Amino acid sequence: MDQINNIDWEKMEGLIPVITQDVTTNEVLMLAYMDKEALSLTLRTKQAHYFSRSKQRIWKKGESSGHLQHVKNIMVDCDNDTILLKVEQLGVACHTGRKSCFFTDLENNETKLDVEVNTDTAYGVIDNLYHIIESRKNDNPEKSYTAKLLKGKENSMLKKIVEEAGEFTFAVKDNDEEEIIYEAADIVYHMLVAMASKNINPDRVKQELARRFGLSGIEEKNSRSE
C-alpha cells in the first residue's frame, strides 16, 4: 500500500507512535506503536493492531480482554512520523480497567479516573501481577516491598530468587504439597520483579515456550549451544 510507504519508517527506526482517540468524544485513550505489518493489518481489518516493545510482537488490541478497537479513521501528521487513530472502543483501553491510559496527574500524582472494568480474569494473574509490579517502580520503597526490591541493590533482588528457589526445592524434597505451591508462587513473583527491572514482559517467556513445543528436549538444548 502506497500510504504505508509514505511514512518515514527509516527515521522512526521501524516503529511509529500512534495516538488513539475515542471517535465520539475525542478523548485520548492511549499511545502505542506500530510497525509496517501492524499498520497493514489495521488498514486491512479495521481493527487496531500495534507492535508491543515489551512483548516484542504484534498484538491486536483486545486479543485477551475482548476490549477491541474498531478503527473509524486513520490520519498521519505533517511529518509522516505519527499516526492518529479514531476508534470505537469496546470496553476500556487501559489494562488497569480504566477507559483511558492517561489518568495520573503528574504534578500531584493523583489518580483522576476510577476503574471501570475488572480486568483480572481478562488478562490472567501473571499479566496482571506483572503490570502491578511495573506500576510500583515509582512508589515509595518504604511503603512498597516491590518498590524496595526494584530500587534497591540488584544483588539483593537476585538473592531473593535464589533463596526462594532453595525453599521450593526443600518443599519438594519434603513432599509438602501446600509448601510447594506457596514457594512456587514466591519464585514466580520474584522472577517477575527481576524481569520488570529489565522491562521484559512475561509474554516473551510464553513465546519462547511456544517455540519449544515443536522441539525435543535434546534439539532445544542443541539449538542453544550452536
Q: How far is CA 150 from each of CA 30, 158, 160, 180, 191, rounded to the nearest angstrom? A: 26, 10, 12, 26, 12
Query: Tens digits of per-residue pLDDT, 138-160?
Result: 889 999 999 999 999 999 999 99
Please state whether the predicted TM-score (pTM) of the whole model is above 0.85: no
CA–CA dist 45, 23 (Å, integer): 17
Mean pLDDT confidence for 69-97: 92
- Read off the pLDDT of residues 54-75 as tens digits, 9 standing for 90 and up: 889 999 999 888 899 999 999 9
Q: Evaluate the CA torsion angle 50, 203, 158, 135 in order and state its sign.
A: positive
When computed from its CA atoms, the radius of gyration of the chain, rounded to whole angstroms, is 21
CATH fit for domain 2-119, picks 2.60.40.2550, 2.70.98.10, 3.40.50.2300, 3.10.20.810: 3.10.20.810
Domain with CATH 3.10.20.810 in the chain: 2-119
CATH 1.10.287.1080 in the chain, residue ranges: 126-215
Say what the pLDDT of residue 121 is: 60
CATH architecture of 126-215: Orthogonal Bundle (1.10)
pLDDT of residue 5: 81
Sign of CA dihedral 52, 56, 60, 66: negative
Q: For 7-153, where are the alpha helices, taking DSSP H only?
A: 36-45, 120-123, 125-135, 145-151
Model confidence at 90, in pLDDT bands (50, 70, 90)? very high
User: Mean pLDDT throughout 205-214?
Assistant: 86
Task: Give residue for cell 510464553.
Answer: 206
Q: Look up residue 25 and give its amino acid.
A: T
Ranked by mean pLDDT, the top range of 117-121, 123-127, 183-187 is 183-187
